[in-house]
Amino acid sequence: MLIFFVGLAFEFSLFCGVIHLAVFYGTKWFENRVIQRRAVKAQEIEQHSVTVEVD
């Protein structure tokens, strides 16, 4: 019976580890995606902006 609970605890800890990694890398992927979209938007704005020089 003890071996069963030890095995169950081990499986649960592995499961939690996998979930933790999925959340961590999923969050990193999402952050990178947001940064990428902001950079593209900034580039588009820069391309369409007009610079005026005053003497």
3-state class (DSSP) for residue 30: helix
Say which amino acid occupies 16: C
Cα–Cα distance list, 44 to 16, 22, 41 (Å): 42, 33, 5
31 occurs within a structural domain: yes
54 occurs within a structural domain: no
30 occurs within a structural domain: yes
pLDDT at 1: 67
pLDDT at 6: 76
pLDDT at 27: 92
pLDDT at 52: 72
1 occurs within a structural domain: yes
Instruction: Please write the tens of the pLDDT for every residue from 1-51.
Output: 667 777 888 888 888 999 998 999 889 999 999 999 999 999 988 888 777
pLDDT at 7: 80
Model confidence, pTM: 0.54
- In the chain, the number of structural domains is 1
